[in-house]
């Protein structure tokens, strides 16, 4: 069952949160070879489940009370309260005990101290991810790769690979993730689950370990659009501790998702919806299996009443160099705080302060993180700032403007999430640029700050899942969810389960 159905079953007392939690803890234990979970605290999860059952019995439950969830280990979790570490997939944070919960974690769980109560979900543990969320395959985690439940020799996508694999393998009904350049949408696509990256500013970044602050955004990975809507309603909303948090009233995403469109009928729920297909999202080099699944999903959306129109995002290819300048630039600044003094790891032996910094950072960071710190430091340095960083910022604005031109002619934009299905673990070797190029279809919406989804659209080569990407205009998560939900009412790809699960 997904989270909406579980919430109903728990409320009707058809099952207890303790039973459900125990069942999932067993599954997590049996599937340890997947590498999806970095930490589990069974005792505290069961205690939280018992508290949820008691709240339901008192008639105090909400739609998510007692439903299990797990968090990408880029969200900090109050160590004293949860017993869980906060690592960002890095050795650098070894031994770090967070004194507080990320806003998203608090809102989905017990609530913020001295704040309103949370949704009452039961946290099962923390999920593996690429180190500091840098990657597209989860192979950059200091704690080892995550395996794709559909084929354990393949990657689950990244950087929220643990989240996607855990949901796909039915270890947890839903998980949080973060998306800086595609890290919710791409692993959702590779692992056959539904993922939503909201408009920048919809979910608070407070307590989300920063990678590239102008891009980082939290969102849900779950089985369906309906489940994503429920989670997003609980985890989103203004937070005064995040200076870029959007100041908007709370949104009832499940209700917005179900709101009938003008002129819609039961058979044609998407009547009047214009979906733009950027011609740059369907290049000659797009893998045939991905193209076929995406085209089939688009044909289904047409049957449901949508009209397809051709649009253009002429700077799609430029999104790659622009992102891979801006993201490392911001990362190099954000990661300056990991100096061996304030957080986690410190080298055991050193001569003086500078030597301590050097040794700590050399030991603590993995190769991809070091590469990005070096690129970022370089492009921000005197004499290069104008040539690289400033140019990238100008192009970023033009990429955002290109989207606005498209939205004159359409309500949503659609295309593939990634150019291929999930690749084999180790297949990309030591070539980081190969990984960077595979982000081509997710980076443009990230740079523009637009909301996007990956919706299961079928299966390609080797039986691997293919996701359809939908991109909406600013704060129009409702239309995204409507289209994804309609598609999921007409198709069953999102209900398929990998063999052996
Ligand atoms: N693959 C991209 C990168 O490596 C995006 C990662 C992300 O969204 N966190 O930076």
Cα–Cα separations (whole angstroms), residue 48 to 28, 120, 222: 18, 9, 21
Task: Specify the pLDDT at position 201.
Answer: 98
| Ligand 1, pocket-test mutation among 90, 181, 184, 212, most atoms within 8 A of CB | 181
- Residue 136 falls in the annotated catalytic set: no
Distance separating alpha carbons of residues 92 and 89, to the nearest angstrom: 9
Q: Are 194 and 2 in contact (CB under 8 A)?
A: no
112 within ligand 1 shell (Cβ under 6 A): no
Q: What string of pLDDT tens digits covers the 501 residues of the chain?
A: 999 999 999 999 999 999 999 999 999 999 999 999 999 999 999 999 999 999 999 999 999 999 999 999 999 999 999 999 999 999 999 999 999 999 999 999 999 888 889 999 999 999 999 999 999 999 999 999 999 999 999 999 999 999 999 999 999 999 999 999 999 999 999 999 999 999 999 999 999 999 999 999 999 999 999 999 999 999 999 999 999 999 999 999 999 999 999 999 999 999 999 999 999 999 998 999 999 999 999 999 999 999 999 999 999 999 999 999 999 999 999 999 999 999 999 999 999 999 999 999 999 999 999 999 999 999 999 889 999 999 999 999 999 999 999 999 999 999 999 999 999 999 987 788 888 999 999 999 999 999 999 999 999 999 999 999 999 999 999 999 999 999 999 999 999 999 988
216 within ligand 1 shell (Cβ under 6 A): no
Q: Which of 183, 204, 224, 454 is catalytic?
A: 183
376 within ligand 1 shell (Cβ under 6 A): no
- Residue 159 falls in the annotated catalytic set: yes
159 within ligand 1 shell (Cβ under 6 A): yes
134 within ligand 1 shell (Cβ under 6 A): yes
Task: Specify the pLDDT at position 422.
Answer: 98
Task: Specify the pLDDT at position 430.
Answer: 77
Distance separating alpha carbons of residues 240 and 214, to the nearest angstrom: 17
Task: Specify the pLDDT at position 353.
Answer: 97
Stated pTM of the model: 0.98
Sheet-wide strand order for 194-197: 37-40, 122-127, 68-72, 174-179, 217-222, 194-197, 452-459, 465-472, 412-416, 274-278, 307-311
182 within ligand 1 shell (Cβ under 6 A): yes
Task: Specify the pLDDT at position 429.
Answer: 78
Q: Which of 90, 159, 191, 204 is catalytic?
A: 159
What DSSP designation does 434 have?
Answer: H
Q: Give the β-pairing of 465-472 and 68-72.
A: unpaired
User: From the CA of 264, how far away is ligand 1's center (Å)?
Assistant: 38
Give the CA dihedral 381, 386, 389, 390, nearest 10 degrees. Answer: 150
Phi, psi of 451 (to 5 degrees): -80, 145
- Residue 72 falls in the annotated catalytic set: yes
Cα–Cα separations (whole angstroms), residue 331 to 31, 103, 132, 199, 369: 33, 21, 9, 21, 9
Helix (H, G, I), strand (E, B) or coil at 277: strand
């Amino acid at each position: 069952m997904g989270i909406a159905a579980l919430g109903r079953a728990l409320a009707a007392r058809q099952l207890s949160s303790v039973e459900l939690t125990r069942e999932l803890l067993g599954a997590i234990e049996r599937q340890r070879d997947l590498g999806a979970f970095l930490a589990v605290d069974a005792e505290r999860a069961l205690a939280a489940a018992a508290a949820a059952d008691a709240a339901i019995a008192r008639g105090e439950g909400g739609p998510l009370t007692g439903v299990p969830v797990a968090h990408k280990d880029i969200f900090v979790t109050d160590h004293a309260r949860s017993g869980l570490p906060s690592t960002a997939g890095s050795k650098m944070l070894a031994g770090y005990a967070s004194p507080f919960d990320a806003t998203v974690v608090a809102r989905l769980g017990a609530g913020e101290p001295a704040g309103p109560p949370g949704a009452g979900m039961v946290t099962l543990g923390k999920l593996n991810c690429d180190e500091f969320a840098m990657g597209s395959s989860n192979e950059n985690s200091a704690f080892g790769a995550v395996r794709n439940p559909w084929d354990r020799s393949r990657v689950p996508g990244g950087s929220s690979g643990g989240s996607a694999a855990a949901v796909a393998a039915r270890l947890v009904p839903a998980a949080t993730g973060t998306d800086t350049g595609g890290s919710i949408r791409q692993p959702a696509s590779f692992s056959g689950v539904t993922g939503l990256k909201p408009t920048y500013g919809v979910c608070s970044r407070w307590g989300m370990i920063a990678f590239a602050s102008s891009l980082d955004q939290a969102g849900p990975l779950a089985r369906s659009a309906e489940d994503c809507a429920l989670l997003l309603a609980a985890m989103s909303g203004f937070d005064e501790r995040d200076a870029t948090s959007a100041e908007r009233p709370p949104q009832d995403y499940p209700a917005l998702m179900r709101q009938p469109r003008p002129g819609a009928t039961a058979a044609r729920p998407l009547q009047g919806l214009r979906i733009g297909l950027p011609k740059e999202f369907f290049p000659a080099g797009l893998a045939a299996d991905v193209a076929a699944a995406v085209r089939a999903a688009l044909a289904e959306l047409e049957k449901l009443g949508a009209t397809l129109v051709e649009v253009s995002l002429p700077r799609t290819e430029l999104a790659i160099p622009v992102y891979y300048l801006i993201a490392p630039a911001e990362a190099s600044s954000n990661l300056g705080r990991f100096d061996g003094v304030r957080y986690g790891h410190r080298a055991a032996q050193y001569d003086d302060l500078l030597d301590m910094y050097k040794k700590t950072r050399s030991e603590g960071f993995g190769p991809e993180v070091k590469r990005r710190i070096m690129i970022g430091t370089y492009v921000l340095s005197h004499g290069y700032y104008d040539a690289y960083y400033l140019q990238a910022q100008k192009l970023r604005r033009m990429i955002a403007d290109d989207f606005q031109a498209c939205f004159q002619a359409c309500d949503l934009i659609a295309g593939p999430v990634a150019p291929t299905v999930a690749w084999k673990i180790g297949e990309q070797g030591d070539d980081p640029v190969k990984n960077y190029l595979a982000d081509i279809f997710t980076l443009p919406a990230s740079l523009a700050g637009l909301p996007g989804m990956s919706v299961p659209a079928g299966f390609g080569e080797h039986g691997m899942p293919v996701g359809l990407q939908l991109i909406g205009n600013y704060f129009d998560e409702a239309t995204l969810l409507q289209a994804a939900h309609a598609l999921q009412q007409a198709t069953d790809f999102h209900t398929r389960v990998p063999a052996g699960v």
